[in-house]
Amino acid sequence: MISERLKQTILKELKLDDYDIRPEMRADEVPGWDSLSHINVILAVEKEYGVRFKGVEVLRLKNIGDLQKLVDSKLS
Protein backbone atom coordinates (compact mmCIF):
# COMPACT_ATOMS: atom_id res chain seq x y z
CA MET A 1 0.00 0.00 0.00
CA ILE A 2 1.27 3.43 -0.92
CA SER A 3 0.70 5.92 1.88
CA GLU A 4 -1.37 9.00 1.06
CA ARG A 5 1.55 11.19 2.11
CA LEU A 6 3.94 9.56 -0.38
CA LYS A 7 1.32 9.57 -3.10
CA GLN A 8 0.64 13.28 -2.65
CA THR A 9 4.37 14.06 -2.63
CA ILE A 10 4.77 12.27 -5.96
CA LEU A 11 1.65 13.79 -7.54
CA LYS A 12 2.64 17.27 -6.44
CA GLU A 13 6.15 16.98 -7.88
CA LEU A 14 4.89 15.64 -11.20
CA LYS A 15 2.10 18.23 -11.29
CA LEU A 16 -0.59 15.57 -11.59
CA ASP A 17 -4.09 16.15 -10.26
CA ASP A 18 -4.72 12.54 -9.46
CA TYR A 19 -3.35 9.20 -10.51
CA ASP A 20 -3.87 5.76 -9.12
CA ILE A 21 -0.41 4.95 -7.80
CA ARG A 22 -0.06 1.32 -6.85
CA PRO A 23 2.86 -0.52 -5.21
CA GLU A 24 3.59 -2.76 -8.20
CA MET A 25 3.78 0.21 -10.58
CA ARG A 26 7.10 1.20 -12.07
CA ALA A 27 8.12 4.85 -12.14
CA ASP A 28 7.84 5.10 -15.93
CA GLU A 29 4.20 4.03 -15.73
CA VAL A 30 3.32 7.29 -14.04
CA PRO A 31 2.81 10.14 -16.51
CA GLY A 32 5.73 12.57 -16.51
CA TRP A 33 8.00 10.40 -14.35
CA ASP A 34 10.95 9.86 -16.68
CA SER A 35 14.66 9.60 -16.07
CA LEU A 36 15.02 13.37 -15.97
CA SER A 37 12.15 14.15 -13.57
CA HIS A 38 13.08 11.09 -11.49
CA ILE A 39 15.66 13.02 -9.51
CA ASN A 40 13.14 15.74 -8.62
CA VAL A 41 10.69 13.17 -7.29
CA ILE A 42 13.42 11.56 -5.15
CA LEU A 43 14.49 14.95 -3.81
CA ALA A 44 10.86 15.84 -3.04
CA VAL A 45 10.42 12.57 -1.11
CA GLU A 46 13.68 13.15 0.80
CA LYS A 47 12.54 16.66 1.70
CA GLU A 48 9.02 15.61 2.70
CA TYR A 49 10.23 12.91 5.07
CA GLY A 50 13.45 14.61 6.15
CA VAL A 51 15.58 11.67 5.10
CA ARG A 52 18.58 11.15 2.88
CA PHE A 53 18.82 8.11 0.63
CA LYS A 54 22.02 6.41 -0.39
CA GLY A 55 22.58 6.28 -4.15
CA VAL A 56 22.61 2.50 -4.23
CA GLU A 57 19.32 2.32 -2.30
CA VAL A 58 17.50 4.39 -4.91
CA LEU A 59 19.14 2.66 -7.87
CA ARG A 60 17.88 -0.70 -6.66
CA LEU A 61 14.23 0.36 -6.48
CA LYS A 62 12.17 -1.74 -8.83
CA ASN A 63 8.79 -0.12 -8.33
CA ILE A 64 6.95 2.44 -6.24
CA GLY A 65 6.25 -0.20 -3.59
CA ASP A 66 9.99 -0.54 -3.07
CA LEU A 67 10.17 3.24 -2.63
CA GLN A 68 7.49 3.03 0.06
CA LYS A 69 9.45 0.28 1.82
CA LEU A 70 12.64 2.34 1.61
CA VAL A 71 10.93 5.38 3.10
CA ASP A 72 9.44 3.24 5.89
CA SER A 73 12.84 1.76 6.67
CA LYS A 74 14.37 5.22 6.96
CA LEU A 75 11.69 6.39 9.34
CA SER A 76 11.81 3.45 11.72
Partner 1 sequence: MFYWLDFDRLISLFQYDEWDPLLFSTTFFLFLFFGLLIAHRYLSANKTGRVLLLLVFSFFFYYKVSGLFFLLLIFTSFINYYGAILIGNSKSRTGKKILFFLTIVINLALLGYFKYTNFFIQIINDIGKASLDPLEILLPIGISFYTFKAISYIVEVYWENIEPEKNFLDFTLYISYFANILAGPIDRADAFLPQVKKDYEVRKAEIGMTIYLIAAGLFKKVVIADYISLNFVDRIFDSPLRYTGVENLLSIYGYALQIYCDFSGYSDMAIGISLLLGFKLMENFNSPYQAGSVAEFWRRWHISLSTWLLDYLFRPLQMKFRNLRILGNALALVITFGLCGLWHGANWTFIFWGAVHGFFMAFSIFTAKPRKLFYSRLKLTDSRYVKVFRVIITFHLVAAAWVFFRVADIQTGFDVFKQIFNFFQGEVFMQFVEAYPAILILIIVGYILHFIPKSVEIKTAEIISNTPLIGQAAILALMFWIAAQAKSADLQPFIYFQF
User: What residue ranges bind partner 1 (CB under 8 A)?
Assistant: 35-36, 38-40, 42-43, 55-56, 58-60
Q: Is 43 helix (H, G, I), strand (E, B) or coil?
A: helix
Least distance from partner 1 to the Cβ atom of residue 55, Å: 4
Give how far Cα 1 sits from Cα of 12, 35, 36, 37, 40, Å: 19, 24, 26, 23, 22
CB of 48 to partner 1, least distance (A): 15
Minimum distance of partner 1 from residue 37's CB (angstroms): 9
Return the number of the residue (4 or 64) whose C-beta is nearest partner 1. 64
Q: How far apart are CA 17 and CA 59, in angstroms?
A: 27
